[in-house]
Amino acid sequence: MDTSASNHHALSQPQVIAIANQKGGVGKTTTTVNLGSALAERGARVLCIDLDPQGHLTVNMGIARPDELDLSVYDVLCEPQVTVGDVRLHTDTLGVDFLPANVELAGAELQLVTEIGRESVLREKLAPYLADYDFVLIDCPPSLGLLCINALVAATDVIIPLQCEYFGMKGMQQLQQTIERVRAKLNRTLRIQGILPTIHKARTLHAKEVLGLVRAHYGEIVYPIHVNDSIRFAECPLAGQSILQYATQSDGARAYRALAATVMDRALAERP
């Protein structure tokens, strides 16, 4: 596997991928961190954005105490003079840049409500920096509020991590409706790039049945990859690593490398 920077083919148009599902605990942060790290491993320039007030992505990037940060993504969204460049940090371990978040971000929704153009603040703030990256990955909060809408307006693509259980499927309709509304009014080119089955309990019949249902119902849009449930994902943040460094030969690392290869191949295929 070639992981050298020479493997890098700059994309003329960076892909901005919102990783969204209003259900919590379905693997959004895990997917953002590990897809980001796997894309970087392939030579891509990656920015990860933590849009979840829980700040789990930020912790995963090696920031043990997000609440002690001077500046965070909250300031990017709510302070007109603060730029992405003022806030972005870099992690050598994962090879990506990131915009950190902390609990302060929970106040952003209220503050943005009165703003004109409140749905497109993130898109406008990102615009001057897009040329620095091939991929921007946005870890969305577990709700369909204004933070998530900002992510969908800024995005070119959506990846939906879907837990392999029946109730996981039920929430999909709501998310799809939100994506349709954003597409109709605010971002015509937004598309669902793929559904990623996550937290797949390989030994249970239920998970296999749901995976079958998902593939039958959504067809081609479901990635031919699924991420098995593993305790190792929970251990990664403590190590400040992605699964690629923490358990490089694991099923999880293989799955996210395969996802990165798919995402990159599609991006390169669409290059003008």
CA distances from 125 to 46, 82, 120, 149, 218 (A): 17, 9, 9, 15, 34
> Is residue 60 within 8 Å of residue 170, measured between CB atoms?
no
What confidence score (pLDDT) does residue 209 get? Answer: 86
Beta bridge partners of 196: 161
How far, CA to CA in Å, does 233 sit from each of 246, 263, 265? 9, 21, 25
pLDDT score, position 203: 76
Q: Is the pLDDT of residue 15 over 90?
A: yes
- The per-residue pLDDT for range 56-80, each reduced to its tens digit, is 999 999 998 999 999 999 999 999 9
pLDDT in tens, 206-230: 778 888 888 888 889 999 998 988 8
- With 60 as the cut, is the pLDDT of residue 2 above it? no
* Mean pLDDT, residues 84-112 taken together: 95
Does pLDDT of 6 surpass 50? no
pLDDT at residue 131 greater than cutoff 80: yes
Backbone CA torsion sign across 191, 49, 94, 42: positive
Among the listed ranges 46-60, 68-82, 131-145, 165-179, which one has the minimum average pLDDT value?
165-179
**Strand (E) or helix (H) holding 16:** strand 15-19
